[in-house]
Amino acid sequence: MKTSFVPLLVLSFSLAVADVSLQAAEGDLKKAVYCHGFKEDDRSPKDVAEFFKPDETVYLSIELKGRPKSGVVAAKFMFREDLMAEAKVDVATVNKGVIFSFGEDTFVSFDMKTKQPMPVGACYRADVTLDGKPLGQFPFRVAPPKEAIPSKLLKAALAKGADEDHKPVNETHEFDGMDKVFLAGAGNLGLSSWLEATWLVNGKVDDQGTRSFTMEENKENVPFHFAFIPAGGWPAGTHEVSLQLDGQEVAHEKFTVKVGAPMAGKTKLVLDSSQLFRDDGKGEPGKEVKYFTTDDTELHARWNLKEKALAKGVQFVWVLVEVEGEKSQVLATADVEAAVSDQIDSSLTAKEGLPPGKYRIDLVQDGKVLDAKVFEVK
Neighbours of 158 (CB within 10 A): 21
- Using pLDDT thresholds of 50, 70 and 90, give the confidence band for residue 168: very high
**pLDDT value, residue 100:** 33
On the question of pLDDT at 14 being above 50, the answer is no
In a 13 Å sphere around the CA of 251, the CA atoms on its Cβ side amount to 23
Beta strands at 2-4 and 339-349: parallel, antiparallel or unpaired: parallel
On the question of pLDDT at 283 being above 50, the answer is yes
Nearest CA-CA partner of 265 in 316, 312, 227? 312
- Using pLDDT thresholds of 50, 70 and 90, give the confidence band for residue 98: very low
- Using pLDDT thresholds of 50, 70 and 90, give the confidence band for residue 42: low
Taking the C-alpha atoms of residue 242 and residue 203, their distance in angstroms, rounded to an integer, is 11
**pLDDT value, residue 334:** 87
Give the mean pLDDT of 297-325: 92
Contact 170, 64 (CB under 8 A): no
Question: By mean pLDDT, which of 58-67, 181-190, 221-230 is the weakest?
Answer: 58-67
Query: Read out DSSP for 78-120?
Result: EETTEEEEEEEEETHHHHTTPPP-TT--EEEEEEE-BSSPPPS
Domains and CATH numbers, the chain: 2-142 (2.60.40.10), 152-257 (2.60.40.1930), 271-377 (2.60.40.1930)
Q: What is the pTM of this model?
A: 0.70
**pLDDT value, residue 96:** 46
Highest mean pLDDT among 10-14, 85-89, 279-283: 279-283
Tens digit of pLDDT for each residue in 287-309?
999 999 999 999 999 999 998 88
Burial class (CB in 10 A: 0-12, 13-18, 19+), 221: exposed
Give the mean pLDDT of 10-21: 42
**pLDDT value, residue 1:** 40
Taking the C-alpha atoms of residue 29 and residue 305, their distance in angstroms, rounded to an integer, is 56
Task: Give the sign of the dihedral formed by CA 238, CA 239, CA 245, CA 246.
Answer: positive
Beta strands at 45-48 and 285-289: parallel, antiparallel or unpaired: unpaired
Task: Give the sign of the dihedral formed by CA 231, CA 234, CA 237, CA 243.
Answer: positive
Instruction: Using alpha carbons, list the distances in angstroms from residue 270 to 112, 267, 274.
Output: 48, 10, 12
Give the mean pLDDT of 68-79: 86
**pLDDT value, residue 232:** 87
Give the mean pLDDT of 262-274: 85
User: Which residues are bridge partners to 285 per DSSP?
Assistant: 279
Mean pLDDT of the chain: 86
Question: By mean pLDDT, which of 1-15, 255-269, 333-347 is the weakest?
Answer: 1-15
DSSP H helices in 74-169: 92-95
On the question of pLDDT at 18 being above 80, the answer is no
